Structure 1
Amino acid sequence: MGANGAGKTWFARRLSDRMGASVICKDALALKTGWVQRARADVRADIVDRISAERWVLEGGPSVLIPEVLARAGLVIWLDISAGLRFWRIIRRSLRYAGRVRSEHPPGNRDWPGLRQWRFAWGALTGGDRFRGAIEAGLDGVVIPVVRLRTRVEVVDWLNAHPGG
């Protein structure tokens, strides 16, 4: 988990491939067509249903730190990447996927480099303390291991050191 642009989807896909587990993408569950959000209770119910599987990798922001998830998780990996890098990644992917839907999003949610994307990227650049605080609050009292990776090198090194997940 982590803030916007931290590399959660990229990381989750690589980890799930190594584990032979399915990826549960919170955005895929939370979005309707046209970037409209589903009701939080519905998203939560879908997450709880999907984590009933034996092996899974759930990726998302602090909102995935719910008791049901933490009770079933064996490990939390927090991608706590710098705001500048996250800002750049959001802008880059917005340009890369311009006019297309990313694989982790449901149909009807095209990326487009416009005002909405710039606001989103700006929020990633300026909202790091808010995200970090929400994650720290969500992890307060958690007894399962938490791995906090802060740089691209740490992320790659961790994946390389855990080839089987």
Structure 2
Amino acid sequence: MKRVMVVGCPGAGKSTFSRRLGSVLNEEVYHLDKLFWLPGWVMREREEFIEMQQKVMNQESWVIDGNFGATLPVRLEKADTVIWLDPPREVCLYRILKRYVQNRNKTRPDMGEGCEEKLDFEFIKYVWNFHYDKRPKLKERLHKAAAHKNIHIVKSTIEAERFLDNLQIIKQGSTL
């Protein structure tokens, strides 16, 4: 588990999980939102964004959190492990609402500098429809890669906790 990508619907817990995973693995975590968004929610130029990802992916090891479907195949090719956080959409929706309340007028650490937390109807609709609009394509891409990647599908907070706890036990055992 040297090159890990964490994917899932907004609100699935990718950033929180990735930070904990990075801590367990003692690896730096790269949040695609932080690479993509410039201050004031301005999108970075596509080529520059791809180049930044390439720099990260050329490293020996990493944890990258985020979807960004247009560049997902490149990350998928370089990753050895994929963790798909796939909770019910109601959970994701609840979490983005909670995140908004907790971070209003602030920029989260996993977000581009100067991008204060925001929430609008289009984003709520995107999250609600993710399971119909984006999930099937993600599932198809991961299914195709399953022959040469370690793919873990995590459907709940309890499963995420178990995964991280088990990984911590394995890591501790390997250092004895």
How far apart, CA to CA, are the structure 1 residues paired with 2:144 and 2:47?
Answer: 23
SS of residue in 2 equivalent to 1:57:
strand
**Residue 47 of structure 2 aligns to which amino acid in structure 1?**
A
With over 3 angstroms needed to count, the CA separation of the structure-2 counterparts of 1:66 and 1:148, relative to structure 1, is same
- How far 1:42 moved relative to its partner? 2.1
What TM-score do the two structures reach when normalised by structure 1?
0.89
Q: 1:130 aligns with which of 119, 130, 133?
A: 133
Measure, in 1, the Cα distance between the counterparts of 2:143 and 2:87.
20
Return the alpha-carbon distance in structure 1 between the equivalents of residues 68 and 88 of structure 2: 16
When the two chains are superposed, the root-mean-square deviation of aligned CA atoms in Å is 1.8
- Pairing 1:84–2:87 present: no
| Distance in structure 2 (CA, Å) of the matches to 1:159 and 1:43 | 30
Normalized against structure 2, the TM-score is what? Answer: 0.84
Bigger drift between 37-46 and 84-93 goes to: 37-46
Give 1:65's aligned residue.
Answer: 72
**Runs of 4+ in structure 1 over 4 Å off:** none
The number of aligned residues is 161
Partners of 1:128 and 1:108 lie apart in 2 by: 29
Shift of 1:140: 4.3
Q: 2:112 aligns with which of 75, 97, 106?
A: 106
The answer for unaligned runs of 5 or more in structure 1 is: none
For the pair 1:31 / 2:37, whether they are aligned, the reply is yes
Match of 2:165 in 1: 160
Q: 1:44 to 1:134 in 2, by over 3 A?
A: farther
Question: Which stretches in structure 2 are left out of the alignment for 5+ residues?
Answer: 1-6
Per the alignment, in what secondary structure is the counterpart of residue 53 of structure 1? coil
> Which amino acid letter does the alignment assign opposite residue 36 of structure 2?
A
- Label 1:157 to 1:24 Cα distance change in 2 as closer, same or farther (>3 A): same
Q: Secondary structure at the match of 1:34?
A: coil
Q: What is the CA–CA distance in structure 2 between the aligned matches of 1:148 and 1:33, rounded to whole Å?
A: 33
SS at match of 2:163: helix
Tell me the amino acid that sits aligned with residue 54 of structure 1.
E
Is the contact made by 1:101 and 1:107 (CA closer than 8 Å) also made in structure 2?
yes
Is residue 96 of structure 1 aligned with residue 99 of structure 2?
A: no
Percent identity over paired residues: 24
Please give the alpha-carbon distance, in whole angstroms, between the structure 1 residues aligned to 2:103 and 2:21.
Answer: 23
